């Protein structure tokens, strides 16, 4: 039994913080959340004093690409380094992501089921994983891998073979939709990822408002996913493709930059409980892309994206945090929470986007995303107050303790408090400046 004496508890439901609460962990679940003294607990209980720290549910990122590390073609096609090196690189990302307080990640394509098995078998460390494997799209969509010369990885003569763990995701016709969904599930997909539009970084000619899939195909995709008890996460930015995704009844709209352009979009999402995963962080990167068409698209969608978030909040559409990391490297996932606050969410709403609402988006709210008796014990302990400064979550030195499945996954409780370090540094600088400004004997001579 582990007893956490918290400085402050934020439970992920949106309720205000509670000072001095105690969390009792028994096995891999939370047994109790209470306010009582430690003398009430059995002598064998391990009591951890977290005075001055904030305890949150383990954070959840609902759109990541953990096995991707750059955007360039050689990397995307797997030509730039041995597969073994790449897998070890991915393993390091998984470990770092967990240590940063992210106890659950939904991978939006690229990560195969072997990583999930390895984490569950404790061969490697990492968050709980919800896998999509690959992006299902029609010919010409973002799942159709093609180079600017028109070559595909499988006919370029460079020896690239289909990886059976990441099944072929291009749909050739309506009749092809259901088999592709079934192959994803057979290979271990927990969620079906598809795309009905281009995006900021997709090839010229297939931009954010350019469609992919027709309504019949999307109906078949959603229907088959539901028959296999899988949710559908759909990359859709604007135009007809965005309309088709919502009409077909996907469970979450990924990116959704131009949701503001038709008032019916967000109204229907509110009615149907469709989640909105805006992934703002990746567009900060795209706005500085070396490719002009990517830069222009990212700049053009920014104001619409912010307006879409504002309207979604006013209509009660739940916004969920996802970084879309991978192509732009793996910056701190909590950078997305800062973006959400800058876009108009309160710090508490941004925390819900990465906890309670995120768990609902995954359909795992019975176990994850909030702190209450009976939930899985996935927790993160932060030095400081994320409601006062959401950026504290982005600083690895402030993530004092991470608990996943009732066990300590990362422990920096003994590390120096960064707040104190900063204070000492500033105090040292002030003394230095004072010394320089005063006559030598005023500083060094005793009175």
Residues that bind Zn ion (CB under 5 A): 108, 324
Contact 323, 345 (CB under 8 A): no
For residues 142 and 266, which CB has a smaller minimum distance to Zn ion in the complex? 142
Contact 231, 363 (CB under 8 A): yes
Closest separation between CB of residue 219 and Zn ion, Å? 23
Closest separation between CB of residue 112 and Zn ion, Å? 16
For residues 61 and 324, which CB has a smaller minimum distance to Zn ion in the complex? 324
Distance CA 199, CA 137 (A): 13
For residues 108 and 392, which CB has a smaller minimum distance to Zn ion in the complex? 108
- CA distances, 319 to each of 63, 94, 225, 241, 252 (Å): 12, 24, 22, 20, 10
For residues 103 and 323, which CB has a smaller minimum distance to Zn ion in the complex? 323
E strand intervals along 369-435:
379-383, 399-404, 407-411
For residues 324 and 378, which CB has a smaller minimum distance to Zn ion in the complex? 324
For residues 5 and 69, which CB has a smaller minimum distance to Zn ion in the complex? 69
Residues, the chain, total? 447
For residues 48 and 68, which CB has a smaller minimum distance to Zn ion in the complex? 68
Distance CA 123, CA 108 (A): 23
Residue that has been written with the tokens 């892309």 in this structure: 289
Closest separation between CB of residue 65 and Zn ion, Å? 6
Distance CA 319, CA 446 (A): 62
Radius of gyration of the chain (CA): 24
- 51 membership: H or E segment, kind and range: strand 46-57
Core vs surface per residue 339-349: b (16+ CB within 10 A) or e: bbbebebebbb
Distance CA 268, CA 246 (A): 7
Distance CA 281, CA 121 (A): 32
List beta partners, residue 138: 171
Closest separation between CB of residue 205 and Zn ion, Å? 20
Q: Work out the widest C-alpha separation in the chain, in whole angstroms.
A: 92
Closest separation between CB of residue 128 and Zn ion, Å? 19
For residues 108 and 221, which CB has a smaller minimum distance to Zn ion in the complex? 108
Closest separation between CB of residue 299 and Zn ion, Å? 19
Closest separation between CB of residue 109 and Zn ion, Å? 7
Closest separation between CB of residue 164 and Zn ion, Å? 22
Closest separation between CB of residue 73 and Zn ion, Å? 17
For residues 11 and 64, which CB has a smaller minimum distance to Zn ion in the complex? 64
Closest separation between CB of residue 327 and Zn ion, Å? 8
- HSE, CB side, 13 Å, CA atoms: give it for residue 265: 27
Contact 375, 317 (CB under 8 A): no
For residues 107 and 338, which CB has a smaller minimum distance to Zn ion in the complex? 107
For residues 22 and 252, which CB has a smaller minimum distance to Zn ion in the complex? 252
Closest separation between CB of residue 414 and Zn ion, Å? 37
Token output for 275: 């989640």
Report long-range pairs for 301-307 (Cβ below 8 Å, ≥24 apart): 301/200, 301/208, 301/237, 301/238, 301/257, 301/258, 304/238, 304/257, 304/258, 304/259, 304/260, 304/261, 305/256, 305/257, 305/278, 305/280, 305/343, 306/343, 306/344, 307/260
């Amino acid at each position: 039994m582990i007893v956490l004496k918290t400085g402050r508890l934020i439970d992920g439901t949106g309720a205000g913080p509670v000072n001095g609460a105690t969390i009792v962990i028994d096995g891999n679940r939370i047994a109790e959340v209470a306010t009582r003294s430690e003398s009430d607990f059995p002598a064998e209980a391990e009591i951890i004093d977290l005075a001055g720290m904030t305890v949150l549910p383990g954070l959840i990122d609902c759109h990541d690409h953990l096995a991707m590390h750059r955007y360039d073609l050689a990397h995307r096609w797997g030509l730039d380094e041995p597969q073994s090196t790449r897998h070890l690189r991915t393993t390091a990302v998984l470990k770092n992501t967990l240590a940063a307080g992210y106890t659950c990640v939904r991978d939006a394509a690229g990560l195969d089921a072997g990583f999930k098995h390895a984490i569950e078998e404790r061969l490697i460390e990492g968050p709980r994983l919800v896998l999509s494997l690959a992006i299902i799209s029609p010919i010409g969509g973002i799942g159709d891998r093609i180079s600017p010369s028109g070559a595909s990885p499988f006919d370029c003569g460079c020896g690239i073979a289909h990886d059976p763990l990441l099944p072929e995701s291009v749909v050739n016709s309506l009749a092809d939709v259901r088999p592709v969904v079934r192959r994803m599930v057979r290979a271990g997909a927990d969620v079906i990822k598809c795309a009905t539009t281009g995006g900021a970084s997709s090839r010229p000619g297939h931009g954010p408002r350019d469609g992919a899939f027709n309504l019949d195909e999307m109906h078949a995709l959603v229907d088959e996913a539901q028959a296999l008890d899988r949710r559908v996460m759909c990359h859709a930015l604007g135009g007809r493709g965005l309309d088709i995704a919502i009409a077909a009844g996907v469970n979450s709209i990924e990116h959704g930059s131009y949701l503001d352009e038709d008032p019916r979009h967000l109204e229907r999402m509110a009615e149907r409980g469709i989640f909105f995963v805006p992934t703002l962080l990746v567009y900060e990167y795209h706005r500085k892309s070396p490719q002009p068409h990517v830069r222009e698209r990212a700049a053009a969608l920014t104001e619409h994206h912010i307006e879409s978030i504002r309207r979604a909040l006013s209509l009660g559409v739940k916004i969920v945090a996802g970084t879309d990391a991978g192509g732009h490297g793996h910056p701190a996932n909590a950078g997305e929470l800062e973006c959400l606050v800058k876009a108009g969410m309160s710090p508490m709403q941004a925390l819900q986007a990465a906890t309670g609402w995120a768990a609902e988006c995954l359909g795992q709210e019975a176990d994850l995303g909030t702190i209450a008796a009976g939930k899985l014990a996935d927790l993160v302990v932060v030095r400081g107050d994320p409601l006062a400064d959401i950026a504290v979550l982005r600083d690895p030195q402030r993530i004092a303790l991470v608990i996943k499945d009732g066990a300590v996954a990362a422990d920096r409780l003994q590390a120096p408090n960064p707040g104190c370090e900063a204070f000492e540094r500033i105090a040292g600088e002030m003394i230095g400046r004072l010394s320089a400004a005063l006559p030598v004997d005023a500083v060094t001579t005793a009175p």
